[in-house]
Amino acid sequence: MDVTFVLYPNMTALDFVGPYDVLASMPGVSPRFVAATLGPVKSDNGLSVVPTDTFDTLKSTDIVVVPGSSHWRELLKDSGGIVEWLREVHPTTKWTTSVCTGSTLLAEAGLVSKATTHWAAREDLEVRGVEVSTDRVVFDGKVVSGAGVSAGIDMALRLVEAEFGEMAAQAVQVGIEYDPQPPRDYDSIPDSVAQGLKAAFESRQA
């Protein structure tokens, strides 16, 4: 089973590294990394990844994983060929998935009707005609979206369950010791802090 991770400049590293660690641990899974060229691609925090394929050479895959970026609005203006490639490869996939703001690219490609995303990008998803969910993982037919960043691990575990069964998903979860116990309850963050964070995110789009 080929699992293809989409790479592009300023992607968020954990958006694809989390799902990669989960999915690549399964027998028979062959990870691939696709980008516009075969040159190293640098994430928004400086991690460089070397693609195995390009949008011109890879025309089919079993699973696609589209990571998000803190520069998602800039990416929506010029995706560097990602949107066109997604439209082309989507008919060949068993699952087309996204993490964080990656769902806005699926929406731009016209591939999803209901999805989740990072909380700062919900409006960008909604204006593209998508029903926005606040759930951590959303299935919309064969399109699966995960919410912000770390939710990519949850999304990948759900894919493992769908493809390999509940016991396999449990084994992977135990193997990576995925048992989130954050120091802060998400719902306890003051509105003033949340608004400040949103403003910081939006300032990157200028």
Q: Which residues are catalytic?
A: 100
For residue 88, which of 133, 55, 125, 65 has the smallest C-alpha distance? 55
Which residues contact residue 68 at a Cβ distance below 8 angstroms, ignoring those fewer than 6 apart?
11, 12, 15, 98, 99, 100, 101, 102, 103, 104, 117, 118, 121, 148, 149
> Are the C-beta atoms of residues 29 and 3 closer than 8 Å to each other?
yes
DSSP β-bridge partners for residue 31? 3
For residue 119, which of 190, 67, 194, 66 has the smallest C-alpha distance? 194
Q: Rounded distance, CA 64 to CA 53, Å?
A: 13
